[in-house]
Structure 1
Amino acid sequence: MAAVGGTVGHEYVLESLRKYGENPSGFLALNTGNSYFADPAADGFVAYREAGRYLVQFGGVFGPPDGRRSLLGAFLGHARSAGRRVVAIQLQREDAELYADCGFTVNQVGASYSVPLPGYSLRGSRFVKLRNKISRARRSGLEVLEAPYEAYAGQLAAIDRSWLVGKGRHVKEIEFLVGQCGGPVQDQRRLLVGRLDGAPVAYISYSPAFGSRPGWLHDLSRRLPDVPPGVMEAINLHAVEGFQREGAEWLHFGFTPFTGLAPEHEVPGASPTAGRFMRFLADRGEKVYPAASQLAYKDKWGPQLVLPEYLAFHGRASLGAVWQVLRVTRSV
């Protein structure tokens, strides 16, 4: 076990996620660039990044239920000794209540979206447009296959570059709250590639999801700007059908900031000022984060589970801390 504030290996983090990873986006804790806090007196870990005078923590405390409070306390002590404050992003409701009880100001920041896979299909009038888009992509000659990342790494990097250029010259690639390809745990992910005339034109990466709703997380998708409509949807349906054959229980579309905000989701002690700021970003923040387009894609699959997710400030809420979260995700 690592010393307090020391590093732990990816193997330890992955095993902790398998045991304690209730957050469906928990695998993102393994993204390259994250740091880990561990305490020899407790099982589990905390994932975070440094941003200004803050430690921006991801996804709550990954540890046994009866040990999360003490591990959170140890992490706060580590932050104090380093002269840093803690802000935590993408907390589940149970995390939010724990953090509020430990002196954090907690506000809803968005929601996550999931579909149960047993019995799931695109039958019915709700999915007519989706079925038509997928049919159009297939008629264009689209071929979808699961492939090892190493076989396509260079071509996928070219897709990434074209995708980013297509978003505009001021747009940066978002990090921290989305998945990635490559790195030491790539063998745990699933990569589905769409090809036209034998050339890759789009891909979706899926990461394992653990906990009480196990399955897969749709965590990263990219395409060339000029691909036919329906290509991403066809790739995802191919994945859904494969996951169903394997007996997977859930497909999680992950977290979208500034969506699903509702007063009834707030925990006691939420900051009115931070709440108003979140609603402002929900209404006018598309240049900060592409929430509307993300939500439109997720909603077309008919998610049956929508869960609130939270942002927590140790002490009073701070718009400066929100800015640092946006900075560490490269949203600004």
Structure 2
Amino acid sequence: MSTREARARQTVTDTEAYDMLRRHGGHSSAFLALNSGNRRFQTDGVDGFVPYREGGRRHLFQLGGPVCADGDRERLLTALLARAAAEGRRVTGVQLSRAAAELHAQHGFVVNQFGASFSIDLDGYGLGGQRMVKVRNMVNRARREGVTVTEADQGDAPALDAVDRAWLRGKGRHVKELDFLIGERGGPGAPHRRLFTAIHAGRTVGYVSYSPVFGERPGRLYDLTRRLPDAPPGTVELVFATALRTFQEEGCGWLHLGFTPFVQLRPDACAFGPTSGALRRCLELLAAKGQAVYPAASQESFKLKWRPQLIEPEYLAFQGGVSVGAVWRLMRLTKAV
């Protein structure tokens, strides 16, 4: 069978992928597997897939690890590695959970913590008390400025496009978002997202989208934020607080704040397998001085001010060891360079 025929046989439709995520998507960011540009590897006899992208001729980057029942993860990963080997590629796992990182370590991967994800248990959660006073002040400031928040199916596309363009211009040419690791407004997952928009003086000044999360901690993922540079202070906080209250009233269990790279790095995070000291030092350097690559500190600060009860490490895993080529291709893939 040719490589093209094998890929055709392994195609997973958008609907099939979504149903598999509902059954097996335990990672809080698993829904990002539906992003435009991602491919889906499947093997016979396994109800599941691995989301991935290719990097040049020699690299394959999987996002979040296998999406399948726990008992099938070994089989699906082994099949993916066999496929990559047949094509002369090395596999790199990106944004892996602890369980997925341990599985990769058992297959000879070198594993390093990449950052952390943050989650809020909505049961009994509130914005009262002294610890949340700064958040309340920002929310109330936006309200006094006349900002209102509404939920829309897809929103006013031209207005949202204008927000996107202004947001990107306002970030500056040196500050980038990590593509492949964040949500998107369109694409195959669009029908399943919730979109909350901020309106001020009759125009759309910002929005936040939320994706579904399944598995052990079901709920919603805060996955994409945009606002105009001149939006009133507190606009994003007001959108976030409105969505949080809406989800809470609907009986949603968790609000996941998503992944931030280079933060909450712990010296004992990779005690279960081989790790790269050189890569660890590079990641620590990026954590301390890497604002030009990604504004990790400000992202972490925003998430921590909501007092998340759960902070979990997430990992990078390099097949056969860390290579300059794999790191470079990953940086290109995520648009960090």
For the aligned pair, the TM-score class normalised by the smaller chain equals over 0.9
- Counterpart CA distance in 2 for 1:287 and 1:223 is 20
- Aligned-residue offset at 1:173: 4.7
Amino acid at match of 1:15: D
TM-score by length of 1: 0.96
- Counterpart CA distance in 2 for 1:283 and 1:94 is 27
- Counterpart CA distance in 2 for 1:318 and 1:278 is 15
SS in 2 for 1:263: coil
Aligned to 1:21: 25
- Aligned-residue offset at 1:286: 1.3
Aligned to 2:312: 307
Pair 1:153 & 2:161 matched: no
Q: Would the aligned equivalents of 1:192 and 1:235 in 2 still touch at CA under 8 Å? A: yes
- 1:138 aligned to which of 117, 135, 143: 143
Pair 1:211 & 2:218 matched: no
- Counterpart CA distance in 1 for 2:5 and 2:156 is 39
Amino acid at match of 1:68: R
- Counterpart CA distance in 1 for 2:259 and 2:116 is 6
- Aligned-residue offset at 1:183: 2.0
Aligned to 1:63: 68
Q: Would the aligned equivalents of 1:3 and 1:38 in 2 still touch at CA under 8 Å? A: no
Unpaired runs of 5+ in structure 2?
none
Pair 1:249 & 2:253 matched: yes
Q: Would the aligned equivalents of 1:30 and 1:185 in 2 still touch at CA under 8 Å? A: yes
Aligned to 2:121: 116
Q: Would the aligned equivalents of 2:95 and 2:315 in 1 still touch at CA under 8 Å? A: yes
SS in 2 for 1:61: coil
- Give RMSD over aligned pairs: 1.4
SS in 2 for 1:193: strand
Aligned to 2:228: 224
- 1:262 aligned to which of 255, 259, 266: 266
Pair 1:127 & 2:132 matched: yes
- Aligned-residue offset at 1:271: 1.5
Q: Deviations over 1:291-319 (max 9, x none)?
A: 01111110110011000000000111224
- Counterpart CA distance in 2 for 1:121 and 1:171 is 33
- Counterpart CA distance in 2 for 1:324 and 1:260 is 24
Aligned to 1:99: 104
SS in 2 for 1:265: coil
TM-aligned CA distance change 1:147 to 1:25, over 3 Å: same
Amino acid at match of 2:87: A
- 2:204 aligned to which of 190, 200, 212: 200
- Aligned-residue offset at 1:107: 0.8
Q: Would the aligned equivalents of 1:3 and 1:39 in 2 still touch at CA under 8 Å? A: no
- 1:297 aligned to which of 294, 302, 313: 302
- Counterpart CA distance in 2 for 1:191 and 1:218 is 10
Q: Deviations over 1:11-36 (max 9, x none)?
A: 11111111111100000000001011
SS in 2 for 1:200: strand
1:73-92 aligned within 5 A: 73-92=78-97
SS in 1 for 2:258: strand
- Aligned-residue offset at 1:268: 2.1
TM-aligned CA distance change 1:206 to 1:3, over 3 Å: farther
Q: Would the aligned equivalents of 2:117 and 2:314 in 1 still touch at CA under 8 Å? A: yes
Q: Would the aligned equivalents of 2:109 and 2:321 in 1 still touch at CA under 8 Å? A: yes
Q: Deviations over 1:134-186 (max 9, x none)?
A: 1000001111000021x411111110000000011344553110000112331
Q: Would the aligned equivalents of 2:34 and 2:187 in 1 still touch at CA under 8 Å? A: no
TM-aligned CA distance change 1:285 to 1:170, over 3 Å: closer
Deviates more, 1:3-12 or 1:41-50: 3-12
Aligned to 2:170: 166
- Aligned-residue offset at 1:91: 0.4
- Counterpart CA distance in 1 for 2:274 and 2:167 is 41
Identity %: 51
SS in 1 for 2:185: coil
Deviates more, 1:166-175 or 1:225-234: 166-175
